[in-house]
Structure formats: C-alpha cells, structure tokens
C-alpha cells in the first residue's frame, strides 16, 4: 500500500522532472517498509553554495520515523530504482537525493 506523500511545514519545491522522479520513487521505496515518504527540504532552507536544492534537483527525506533496520533498505532501494543519474546520500538526520547525471546525453 502506498502512503500519501508528506511535507514538513514550510517546505518549498518546484515540480521538475527530477523532483517528480524522486517523489515517485521515494513513495514506492518508503512503502516497502510501511512508512510515508516525508520531504523535509526542497529549494528552501540553507544548503551548500552550489547545492542542487537551489536548482530544483534535490530533496531531503526524513528518516527519524523509520525503524533503525529500515534505513539502509530505503537507501538501497532509492539507489536501485533511481539509477546512476541520481546520488543518494545518508546524512546524520535525513537522506539527501539529487539528480546528478554522470554522462552527458546527446
């Protein structure tokens, strides 16, 4: 069963192909561990100077509501389903997901 997407209050994002893919995939992967996908940051907040958050190519996803044993399967599932054009990084308190293609498409 898919859970509705959830957003931390104040999260701002603009719908782009990359953002839509992260949201769609996040919803599927989090459902595997019977938890909602909660977005905690889009283009809002403070990030590194060249962060992909500011170009609408990255989201942060909550993990504190997950069971400890479910975190790595979620990270692995995101990596597998999103593929090589996305980076999935487990941070201390969230999962950072960004569109970062490794090969230029012609």
Can you tell me the distance from the alpha carbon of 25 to that of 22, in angstroms, rounded to the nearest whole number?
A: 5
CATH number of the domain within which 20 lies: 3.30.1380.10
Which whole number is the average pLDDT over 3-11? 94
Cβ neighbours for 24, distance < 8 A, ≥ 6 positions apart: none
Q: Answer yes or no: is pLDDT of 25 > 90.
A: yes
Question: Do residues 75 and 94 touch, judged by C-beta distance below 8 A?
Answer: no
The number of beta carbons lying within 10 Å of the beta carbon of residue 19 is: 20
pLDDT in tens, 32-47: 999 999 999 988 777 7
Residue 104 resides in a domain: no
Residue 105 resides in a domain: no
Instruction: Label residue 93 by pLDDT band (50, 70, 90).
Output: very high
For residue 53, give its domain range.
6-99
Residue 1 resides in a domain: no
Computed over every residue of the chain, the mean pLDDT equals: 92
Can you tell me the distance from the alpha carbon of 77 to that of 71, in angstroms, rounded to the nearest whole number?
A: 10
pLDDT in tens, 60-90: 999 999 999 999 999 999 999 999 999 999 9
Cβ neighbours for 43, distance < 8 A, ≥ 6 positions apart: 12, 13, 14, 53, 54, 56
pLDDT the model gives residue 102: 80
Which whole number is the average pLDDT over 22-40? 97
Q: Answer yes or no: is pLDDT of 49 > 80.
A: no
């Amino acid at each position: 069963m898919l859970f509705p997407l959830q957003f931390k209050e104040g999260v701002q994002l603009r719908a782009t192909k990359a953002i839509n893919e992260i949201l769609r995939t996040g919803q599927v992967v989090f459902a595997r561990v019977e938890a909602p996908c909660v977005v905690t940051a889009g283009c809002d907040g403070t990030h590194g100077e060249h962060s992909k958050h500011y170009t609408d190519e990255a989201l942060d996803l909550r993990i504190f509501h997950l069971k400890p044993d479910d975190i790595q399967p979620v990270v692995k599932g995101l990596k597998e389903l999103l593929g090589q054009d996305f980076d999935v990084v487990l941070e201390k308190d969230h999962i950072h997901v960004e569109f970062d293609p490794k090969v230029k498409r012609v």
